[in-house]
């Protein structure tokens, strides 16, 4: 399973656990429900900007939306060097984005 799909699953699970409807989250993101559904089903790439907005809507840290536990449990990070590099890159990008947000 790709990182985007794992992230999408994580977003959906957290949204449901936190009691948000897909309609409410879509409205807050200013996208229609069908596009949000595609995002949650892993059919579209989730950008860092979109991930940050989703975290703000759900009122959780961005890192909570990332599927570290899922990857760790499946041990894919050690088996797949490309996935490992993708995760390290995503972490670096998120650290820069977080720094920019903190400096505002």
What whole-number distance in Å separates Cα of residue 57 and Cα of residue 29? Answer: 8
Please answer whether residues 26 and 32 qualify as being in contact, where contact means their C-beta atoms are separated by less than 8 angstroms: yes
Q: If residue 64 lies in a helix (H) or strand (E), which one and from where to where?
A: none
Q: 2 pLDDT exceeds 90?
A: no
What whole-number distance in Å separates Cα of residue 96 and Cα of residue 48? Answer: 11
Q: 70 pLDDT exceeds 70?
A: no
Which candidate, 54, 50, 49, places its Cα nearest to that of 12?
54
Q: 74 pLDDT exceeds 70?
A: no
The mean pLDDT of 32-36, rounded to a whole number, is: 96
Supply the mean pLDDT for the chain.
Answer: 84
Domains and CATH numbers, the chain: 3-102 (1.10.260.40)
Please answer whether residues 65 and 55 qualify as being in contact, where contact means their C-beta atoms are separated by less than 8 angstroms: yes
What's the predicted TM-score (pTM) here? 0.65
């Amino acid at each position: 399973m790709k990182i985007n799909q794992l992230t999408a699953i994580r977003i959906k699970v957290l949204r449901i656990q936190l009691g948000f409807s897909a309609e409410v989250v879509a409205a807050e993101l200013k996208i229609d429900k069908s596009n949000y559904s595609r995002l949650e089903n892993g059919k579209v790439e989730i950008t860092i900007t979109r991930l940050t907005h989703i975290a703000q809507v759900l009122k959780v840290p961005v890192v909570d939306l990332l599927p570290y536990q899922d990857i760790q449990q499946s041990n894919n990070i050690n088996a797949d060097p490309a996935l490992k590099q993708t995760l390290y890159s995503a972490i670096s990008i998120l650290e820069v984005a977080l720094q920019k947000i903190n400096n505002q």
